Amino acid sequence: MSRPIRLLSLNINGINHPVKQTKLLQYLRKESADIVYLQETHLSSTEAAKLIKLWKGGGCYAPSLNKKNGVVILFSSKLSATIISSDHDVSGRWSCCHITLNNFPLLLFTVYAPTKDNPLFFPGAHCNT
């Protein structure tokens, strides 16, 4: 890749509707996004996996519980990326994805932190990859 990697982070406040998913993916492609961090997806495990498939690249996720929370990391098929391992919490607040990019190891991490102060949240947000 001869240009810098383009990163985007978006709080999308739910993306269960197919029209919203299509519009989001069109926007990400228009912006030439290479790595995308999505927070507050509200997607189940099945729906998050479908979104990654529609993206036609790679990704990892923490599914939503009861249509709350949920995060997804997407990376473009234009990148020479391979997933080594991934991890996430059970409440859909964070996900991490250990990848190699052009044989260089990277750890991608996204978090949807609580809006109320919780001193125990960040010490518990750690990746076991």
Kindly report the average pLDDT of the chain as a whole number: 88
Question: pLDDT digits over 69-104, tens only?
Answer: 999 999 999 988 899 999 998 888 889 999 998 889
Q: What is the pLDDT of residue 3?
A: 76
* Of residues 33 and 103, more confidently modeled: 33
Q: What is the pLDDT of residue 28?
A: 96
Q: Answer yes or no: is pLDDT of 121 > 70.
A: no
Instruction: Enumerate residues 6+ apart whose C-beta is below 8 A from 124.
Output: 89
End-to-end alpha-carbon separation of the chain, Å?
26
